[in-house]
Amino acid sequence: MRVFHILNQMIENKVAVVIRGDNPDQAVKTADACVKGGSRTLEVTFTVPDADDVLRTLIQKYPEAVIGAGTVLDSETARLAIIRGASFIVSPSFDPDVAKLCNRYAVPYLPGIMTVREATEAMAYGAQVVKLFPGEMYAPSFIKTLRGPLPHLQLMPTGGVDLGNVQEWLQAGAVMIGAGGSITGSAKSGDYEEVTRLAAEFQRLAEEV
């Protein structure tokens, strides 16, 4: 029930913003700018230094948002993120040990997949939404191709999703999209106002579909 509730919130929010940063302060400021623009799902990547502390800070700061962990490569990292309060776990590829751990804690696991075989394996371990990654390698029509043999497959394309194609992905059947640099790229130069503007525009376009 908890997994369904969290995934339903994420799907309603439509856009999961991937939060990166060269240091914890940059990551938190990037997240602040995204929330200011209307983002309600945040994925804090574990490439951020002290990512678990960043995760905890944002969860305490924005209790109304759905905040999870990304770039989770093993079950040890997944457990740390869950203990720190992550609502969901995202990884660039499927890992059965991470899947088992997330099932144990009733936390949604969204693994990256590229093929029907990978999607089938992830679903067999309980993944209800999978990340199509890297999204720039595919056209939105690929969703229809995957759903031929797997009609119940729910996909979140991530990578290469931008203002020009976000609606096309959603119209093609993506249940939500993941976006990183196309929203947060200007954070590297300290332009958080631009991050807020792009987050708001992404959210507006997604909600029109």
Q: Would the pLDDT of 1 be above 90?
A: no
36 and 197 Cβ atoms separated by less than 8 Å: no
Tens-place pLDDT, residues 117-172: 999 999 999 999 999 999 999 999 999 999 999 999 999 999 999 999 999 999 99
Q: What fold characterizes domain 2-204?
A: TIM Barrel (3.20.20)
Give the active site residue among 43, 61, 194, 207: 43
DSSP 93: S
- 3-class secondary-structure state, position 202: helix
Q: Is the sign of the CA dihedral 176, 150, 141, 137 positive or negative?
A: positive
- Please compute the mean of the pLDDT values over residues 41-53 and round it to a whole number: 98
- Tokens 């369904």 belong to 4
Can 43 be counted among the known catalytic residues?
A: yes
Q: Would the pLDDT of 110 be above 80?
A: yes
Instruction: Measure the CA–CA gap between 110 and 90, rounded to whole angstroms.
Output: 5
- Please compute the mean of the pLDDT values over residues 191-207 and round it to a whole number: 98
Instruction: Measure the CA–CA gap between 102 and 88, rounded to whole angstroms.
Output: 8
Instruction: Measure the CA–CA gap between 127 and 108, rounded to whole angstroms.
Output: 7
Banded pLDDT at 186 (limits 50, 70, 90): very high
The residues spanned by each domain of the chain are: 2-204
Among residues 55, 58, 53, 59, which one has the least CA distance to residue 70?
55
Tokens representing 180 are: 């990183």
- Average pLDDT over the chain, rounded to whole? 97
Tens-place pLDDT, residues 2-38: 999 999 999 999 999 999 999 999 999 999 999 999 9
